[in-house]
Amino acid sequence: MECRVLSIQSHVVRGYVGNKSASFPLQVLGFEVDSINSVQFSNHTGYSHWKGQVLTADELHVLYEGIKLNNVHQYDYVLTGYTRDTSFLEMVVDIVQELKRANPNLVYVCDPVLGDHGSMYVPQNLYPVYKNKVVPVADIITPNQFEAELLTGKNISSQKDAVEVMDLLHAMGPDTVVITSSDLPPRLGDRFLVSLGSQRHVRPDGTRTTQRVRIEVPKVDAVFVGTGDLFAAMLLAWTHHYPNDLKTACEKTFSVMHHVIQRTISYAHELAGPGRRPSPPQLELRMVQSKADIEDPAIVTEATIIS
Catalytic center residues: 229
List the beta strands (DSSP E) in 42-157: 52-54, 77-80, 107-110, 115-116, 119-120, 140-141
For residue 11, the surrounding DSSP H or E stretch is: strand 3-12
φ/ψ of 131, rounded to 5, equals -65, -45
Longest dimension (CA), the chain: 61
Q: Contact at 8 Å (CB) between 168 and 147?
A: no
- In SS3 terms, 273-304 reads as CCCCCCCCHHHCCCCHHHHHHHHCCCCCCCCE
DSSP 203: -
Q: How far apart are CA 292 and CA 307, in angstroms?
A: 34
Sign of the Cα torsion 5, 38, 24, 259 reads: negative
- At residue 99, the 3 state secondary structure works out as helix
Q: How far apart are CA 99 and CA 92, in angstroms?
A: 11
- At residue 272, the 3 state secondary structure works out as helix
